[in-house]
A and B are shown apart, each in its own frame.
Chain A
Amino acid sequence: MTNSIELECSALKVVRHKIERVGCAYFNARRQIGDSSGVERSDSDEKLAGAGEDVDISYLKSLDPKEWKDQDHYSVLGLGKLRYEASDDDIRRAYRRMVLQHHPDKRKAKGEEVITDDDYFTCITKAYEILGTSKLRRSYDSVDPEFDDAFPTQTDIDSDYFNAFNKYFNLNARWSEKTSVPPFGDVDAKREEVERFYNFWYDFKSWREFSYLDEEDKEKGQDRDERRWIEKENKVARIKRKKEEMTRIRALVDLAYNNDKRIQRFKQEEKDRKAAAKRAKMDAAQAQKAEQERAVREAALVKEKADKAEQKRIEQIRIEREQQKKVLKKERKTLRDKIKDCKYYAKNDKDQLKHMEATEKICETFTLTELQSLNKAMESKGRESFMVAMQTADQKIAAQLEELNMAQKKQQMNNTPKSAASSSTIKEVKKGELWSNENVQLLIKAVNLFPAGTAQRWDVIATFINQHCGADCSPVSARDVLNKAKALQNSDHSKSTLKAHANDAAFQSFERSKKEVQTTNDITLGDAPADTKENVKQNGGDHLTSSNHHHPQQQPLLPESKQNGNATPAAAAAAATPTTPAPTSNGVASKTWTKEEQALLEQAIKTYPTTTPDRWDCIAACIPNRSKKDCLRRVKELVELVNSKKEAQAAVK
């Protein structure tokens, strides 16, 4: 039921301004405009809109101001419904309203009888006193008579667990110091939510305190001591009550927890999950183990297979090689036999030797297939094919030699330092000169003198060679010696020029000896004309044959260098004799001491000690064909040899 009127009020002076949106005044004005319900102006300029409900006057009249402690202050102010949810503003406005209505002066003005001493208005002021002060209000709220401290009954729990507990937890949530209380949730609540809820409630911190129930007011104490005593008493009571409160909350939460179907469900789930995890883990472990075993087995199998295959392969290679060797041997044998059968296809003796030599060459140089083809060819063509093979063998050897020489040269080239071209050529020349026949013989001698195992063998040998070669020879180093010895050892006798040389010499001497045999048929030894050079040669050849007699005709083919070493110097010396003019036969003879003669000489030296008079005569008598002078020279030579050997060893050491 409203009525309104609108008037133009031109008398009201207004003005329009642009106001800066700053400052207290502006915002106050704005706040009022923003308030759509409008601003209420009353005597005290207070706003009272919506403050509480009307209070039954009979209730107020029934209040005894002396028993203020037991009264419901919210009801007194007309906030019985809002209670603890009422804001400070609500309370203030409710109080103002009550004051306006129930102030004794107001009632007096209305003509009511008021007893100032015992008026219910005191209860109103007291209620505001308590509710208007936050601390006191809190203590009153803590013991709110309308609060239900009870627990849900078992029947409630059984019938409607969630609603029952929800209600109680919501009730108790108002005591929480934290404002955000997790919700109780329902059957389908998530595990985290439920856990958070129980965590919260088990760690529940309540602001509820019981100072309102204090038996006596501290301020009523007469003196300090009494006040302290009261305070102490109150404190004990408060702590006790607080403890009770905490146990109550705890009991409530326990009750809820124990009856919570969700917790049971979670526990079961957890159990299941753990069991499943355990099972899965075990399964996994087993699977892993099985897998490992399988892998090991497989690896072993693979390895075995591989080993077998490898062995087989090696075996096969071996067999093959052996077979090849066998075949090669066979082929060679057939070749040799065939050639032998064919008398080496020789037209004369010289050819025969040559061909014999060539046969060996062929045997060595030809490969299996070549040999086979040669054998076949020889069956049909005989001599022709042999000659061709001989040529090819020669060519091959020549080629190999060439190759070897080239390689050696290269090595030498490489060995010579880069310093100067001229010096390198000189050195090359020297190197070439280094291994003259004499030197090689010296080397062979030295190698035999100092067998393997001699300390610093190659150095000793090098020194030995250096000491024995003439002054015009360039000194050799241990390395050179080693290289040469190796080359000699490794080199095929057929490729060695030295050997070829020696062989030539041997053959010549053999020829000569043959001639001599022919000549001796006509001429007696004793009548031999000693003056001619030829005779000298023949003599030498004679001696040589005697020495060479031990070796059959194959002597040039002897593969071992040691034997060569023994034989070749003698042969070489024999070969060399024609070039060097020998003044006497003795001089010639002095060079050719055979082993037998040597042995005889040594024996003789031993039999005739130095004390024997005419010692050398006796010694010479022991050795046939040797004069006293020869023996002396030989001994001197030997002594020299021994001394130099010692010297060389000493020099190295």
Chain B
Amino acid sequence: MWPRFGIKIGNSTLCIAYVRADGKAEVIANKQGDRVSQACLLWNGDSETECGLTAKQKMATRPKQAVAHSFQLLQSKSEITEDKLTSALKEVPCEYDKESFVFRMEHTKPADREDQDDIVVTKEMSAFQVTVELLRAELELARQYHTASDQAPMAVLSIPSYYPPQSVKLLSDAAKDAGFQVAQIIAEHTAAVLCYKIAEEQLEQSLDRQHVLTIKCGGLYSDFVLYAVENGYLIELAKYGPFPIGGKQFTEALVQFICEEFKRKYKLDPHESRRSLAKIRTAAANCKHILTTLPSTQLYIDSLMDGVDFNAQMSRARFESLIQPVINGLIQQLSECLERAQQAHPELKVIDHIVLLGATMQIPKLQSALAARYPDAKLHNSHSTDEVVAIGCARQAVFLLDPLHSQLQKADDCVLVEDDLYIWHGNDDSNAKLVLSKGSILPAKIKVSLPQSGQADASDAALASFKLRTGQSEIMAHLPDTTPTIDDGLFQLEVEVDWDDKDGNIVPLVRLRCM
């Protein structure tokens, strides 16, 4: 059963973390040594496909054989609308068959002889199949830690919050096909909150209701989810997105800069050549990653166009000035969403925590901009933002009740007690016992043994009377049978608290039984 795994799968990247029974989650590095794998698949034109970084590198030269950003198409056919599809397909390098919903990869085999035409072979893969392949690559990483061969590794997977329930089912099936035992599928944002143990801290310090804003900015899209944390439970208040602001926009800003710079210097327009653009894009993405950790970097592109190299010094400050408009857009979007949330939930006054997730959130300028925007909130960014989801999933894997039974529903509709419920015998409220603590889920069945109150000898009626208290109000409860068994001066009571729905109002019911 151990270790268990947490997997984050997204449009651009995959990440897997493992956790042992002690609850410490660790990200597993792939064979290139990267902790995050690229969600790219490349078909070699024959029988093999490869996933990960190598696929991504080859994608530039063989775009017709590669699939990337496929996860957004892992949806049921009815869910994929025309405009969704067109926006999604901008990012997919290979062809996509809109009728049968499959990626069509083309490979041109050079002809054996001069006079023959080149042979074009195609391979079709659905988004589901691509996801299975990608997860299979992750399974290989999981195998390093999961040695039991008879049982599939147990995994908790994440899914973006805005995905429909059908996709959850699809993802679960894909993971099962890849060879995982799917225990649960949770939203990415929820996983991020779990990673920072916000709910547990609250429970420990018995704090009041807190609000957590989770901001995800991934490779293509960004979305925001607002959570309330109460009694250690996570309650999703509102979610917004997806907005087309992602790492791609940041890269694109840098690409534009490089193009202009190049044009200015050499009077050559890289926009004319698709290959040049691809080169710039790769370099820009690389530069972006370096600048998240280093103050400056050398931007060098070999033979960018017509044999001319491009070489420039890129400082973080310059990069930040370039991406400022994108950041502004994101912040503005966020503010709008928050305003809407406050209208919908008037109790939402202050944001206590901000959790960042998605690789793009690594950008220091973005983090500082958010910190400046919400100075009161605690900004959680101690974990790498692209690993946070996988770690959260792995942590969730620790809590599982029945891990063999996969749980695909994200939320559970529950009735919670908002106040403590105490019970005692007679008038002896010094011996009052807690039946239900604040935040307990109904229905609940509790056995309590109550000591007999001092004035036990008074009367039969008093003998069988108990009192319940919640908040300020007290309730008398008389057991109809006047002879409750008393064992060593203790009442063995069974208290059942349930609820009934009366005209939309939830009315709690308390059932007392004496054993």
Number of chain B residues whose Cβ lies closer than 8 Å to a Cβ of chain A: 74
- 5 more contacts with CB within 8 A, not counting A16-B414, A25-B203, are A11-B473, A14-B506, A20-B190, A20-B235, A23-B234
Q: Would A40 and B448 count as touching, CB distance under 8 A?
A: yes
Closest Cβ of chain A to B324, distance in Å, is: 35
**Could you say which of A1, A7, A21, A33 has the most chain B C-beta atoms within 10 Å of its C-beta?**
A21
Q: Would B400 and A5 count as touching, CB distance under 8 A?
A: no
Enumerate chain A residues within 8 angstroms of B190, measured Cβ to Cβ. 20, 22
Q: How far is the CA of A1 from the CA of B152 in the complex (A)?
A: 50
Q: Would B401 and A14 count as touching, CB distance under 8 A?
A: no
Q: How far is the CA of A34 from the CA of B412 in the complex (A)?
A: 14
Enumerate chain B residues within 8 angstroms of A10, measured Cβ to Cβ. 507-508
Q: How far is the CA of A29 from the CA of B416 in the complex (A)?
A: 10
Chain B binding site: helix, strand, loop or mixed by DSSP? strand
Q: Would B509 and A8 count as touching, CB distance under 8 A?
A: yes
Contact with B along A9-33 (1 / 0, CB 8 A): 1111111111111111111011111
Residue of B nearest to A38 (CB): B445
Query: 3 closest Cβ contacts across the A-B interface?
Result: A25-B232, A3-B481, A38-B445
Residue of A nearest to B511 (CB): A6
At the interface, yes or no: A42 with Cβ under 8 Å from chain B? yes
Residue of B nearest to A19 (CB): B233
Q: Would A7 and B509 count as touching, CB distance under 8 A?
A: yes
Q: Which of A23, A27, A33 is B444 in contact with, Cβ under 8 Å?
A: A33
Closest Cβ of chain B to A116, distance in Å, is: 22
Enumerate chain A residues within 8 angstroms of B401, measured Cβ to Cβ. 27, 30-31, 34
26 contacts between A and B (CB under 8 A): A2-B514, A3-B513, A4-B512, A5-B480, A6-B509, A6-B510, A7-B475, A10-B508, A13-B418, A14-B417, A16-B413, A17-B233, A18-B411, A18-B413, A19-B235, A21-B409, A21-B410, A22-B399, A25-B200, A25-B203, A25-B439, A30-B441, A35-B445, A37-B445, A38-B494, A41-B448
Contact with B along A34-63 (1 / 0, CB 8 A): 111111111000000100000000000000
Q: Would B470 and A12 count as touching, CB distance under 8 A?
A: yes
Q: How far is the CA of A359 from the CA of B194 in the complex (A)?
A: 131
Enumerate chain A residues within 8 angstroms of B497, measured Cβ to Cβ. 9, 12
Closest Cβ of chain A to B498, distance in Å, is: 9
**Could you say which of A2, A16, A17, A18 has the most chain B C-beta atoms within 10 Å of its C-beta?**
A17
Q: How far is the CA of A29 from the CA of B230 in the complex (A)?
A: 13
Enumerate chain A residues within 8 angstroms of B440, measured Cβ to Cβ. 29
Number of chain A residues whose Cβ lies closer than 8 Å to a Cβ of chain B: 42
Closest Cβ of chain B to A179, distance in Å, is: 15
Enumerate chain A residues within 8 angstroms of B433, measured Cβ to Cβ. 41
At the interface, yes or no: B484 with Cβ under 8 Å from chain A? yes
Q: Would B417 and A25 count as touching, CB distance under 8 A?
A: no
Q: Could you list which residues of chain A lie within 8 angstroms of chain B, going by C-beta atoms?
A: 1-27, 29-42, 49
Known: A15-B415, A16-B414, A41-B448. A24 touches B232 (CB 8 A): yes
Contact with A along B482-515 (1 / 0, CB 8 A): 0011000000001011010000001111111111
Enumerate chain A residues within 8 angstroms of B416, measured Cβ to Cβ. 14-17, 19
Q: Which of A15, A23, A32, A37 is B199 in contact with, Cβ under 8 Å?
A: A23
Q: Could you list which residues of chain B lie within 8 angstroms of chain A, going by C-beta atoms?
A: 184, 186-187, 190-191, 194, 199-200, 203, 227, 230-236, 396, 399-401, 407, 409-419, 421, 433-435, 439-449, 468, 470-471, 473, 475, 477-481, 484-485, 494, 496-497, 499, 506-515
Residue of A nearest to B408 (CB): A21
Q: How far is the CA of A35 from the CA of B471 in the complex (A)?
A: 27
Q: Would A38 and B417 count as touching, CB distance under 8 A?
A: no
Q: Would B414 and A17 count as touching, CB distance under 8 A?
A: yes
Q: How far is the CA of A10 from the CA of B232 in the complex (A)?
A: 25
Q: Would B480 and A11 count as touching, CB distance under 8 A?
A: no
Q: Would B400 and A27 count as touching, CB distance under 8 A?
A: yes
Q: Would A33 and B441 count as touching, CB distance under 8 A?
A: yes
Q: Would A40 and B446 count as touching, CB distance under 8 A?
A: yes
A-B contact count (CB 8 A): 187
Enumerate chain A residues within 8 angstroms of B494, measured Cβ to Cβ. 38
Q: Which of B194, B442, B448, B478 is A14 in contact with, Cβ under 8 Å?
A: B442
Residue of A nearest to B464 (CB): A3
Enumerate chain B residues within 8 angstroms of A39, measured Cβ to Cβ. 444-447
Enumerate chain B residues within 8 angstroms of A19, measured Cβ to Cβ. 233-235, 411-414, 416, 441
Enumerate chain A residues within 8 angstroms of B187, measured Cβ to Cβ. 20
**Could you say which of B401, B415, B418, B421 has the most chain A C-beta atoms within 10 Å of its C-beta?**
B401
Closest Cβ of chain B to A592, distance in Å, is: 84
Known: A38-B496, A41-B448. A25 touches B470 (CB 8 A): no
Enumerate chain A residues within 8 angstroms of B435, measured Cβ to Cβ. 41
Known: A5-B511, A34-B401. A24 touches B496 (CB 8 A): no
Q: How far is the CA of A306 from the CA of B413 in the complex (A)?
A: 100
Enumerate chain A residues within 8 angstroms of B419, measured Cβ to Cβ. 12-13
Q: How far is the CA of A5 from the CA of B410 in the complex (A)?
A: 37
Residue of A nearest to B203 (CB): A25
Q: How far is the CA of A13 from the CA of B484 in the complex (A)?
A: 29
Closest Cβ of chain A to B162, distance in Å, is: 15
Closest Cβ of chain A to B494, distance in Å, is: 6
Q: Would B508 and A14 count as touching, CB distance under 8 A?
A: yes
Q: Would A23 and B441 count as touching, CB distance under 8 A?
A: no
Q: How far is the CA of A16 from the CA of B434 in the complex (A)?
A: 22
Residue of B nearest to A23 (CB): B199
Enumerate chain B residues within 8 angstroms of A36, measured Cβ to Cβ. 445
Q: Would A29 and B441 count as touching, CB distance under 8 A?
A: yes
Known: A16-B416, A21-B409. A42 touches B449 (CB 8 A): yes
Q: Would A25 and B447 count as touching, CB distance under 8 A?
A: no
Q: How far is the CA of A22 from the CA of B190 in the complex (A)?
A: 8
Enumerate chain A residues within 8 angstroms of B499, measured Cβ to Cβ. 14
Q: How far is the CA of A34 from the CA of B494 in the complex (A)?
A: 16
Q: Would A14 and B415 count as touching, CB distance under 8 A?
A: yes
Q: Would A26 and B510 count as touching, CB distance under 8 A?
A: no
Closest Cβ of chain A to B239, distance in Å, is: 12
Residue of A nearest to B234 (CB): A20
Enumerate chain A residues within 8 angstroms of B396, measured Cβ to Cβ. 22-23
Known: A4-B479, A20-B234. A11 touches B444 (CB 8 A): no
Q: Would B418 and A1 count as touching, CB distance under 8 A?
A: no
Closest Cβ of chain A to B493, distance in Å, is: 9
Q: Which of B400, B445, B513 is A2 in contact with, Cβ under 8 Å?
A: B513
Q: Would A41 and B508 count as touching, CB distance under 8 A?
A: no
Closest Cβ of chain B to A215, distance in Å, is: 39
Enumerate chain B residues within 8 angstroms of A49, measured Cβ to Cβ. 447
Q: Would B479 and A11 count as touching, CB distance under 8 A?
A: no
Closest Cβ of chain A to B203, distance in Å, is: 6
Q: Which of A6, A12, A30, A38 is B446 in contact with, Cβ under 8 Å?
A: A38
Enumerate chain A residues within 8 angstroms of B481, measured Cβ to Cβ. 3
Enumerate chain A residues within 8 angstroms of B484, measured Cβ to Cβ. 3
Enumerate chain A residues within 8 angstroms of B512, measured Cβ to Cβ. 4-7
Residue of B nearest to A31 (CB): B401
Q: How far is the CA of A334 from the CA of B415 in the complex (A)?
A: 141
Q: How far is the CA of A10 from the CA of B508 in the complex (A)?
A: 6
Residue of B nearest to A35 (CB): B445
Q: How far is the CA of A14 from the CA of B443 in the complex (A)?
A: 11
Q: Would A18 and B471 count as touching, CB distance under 8 A?
A: no
Q: How far is the CA of A256 from the CA of B416 in the complex (A)?
A: 63
Q: How far is the CA of A23 from the CA of B439 in the complex (A)?
A: 14
**Could you say which of B186, B415, B441, B494 has the most chain A C-beta atoms within 10 Å of its C-beta?**
B441
Closest Cβ of chain A to B484, distance in Å, is: 7
Closest Cβ of chain B to A208, distance in Å, is: 28
Closest Cβ of chain B to A46, distance in Å, is: 11
Q: Would B446 and A41 count as touching, CB distance under 8 A?
A: yes
Enumerate chain A residues within 8 angstroms of B413, measured Cβ to Cβ. 16-19
Q: How far is the CA of A85 from the CA of B484 in the complex (A)?
A: 35
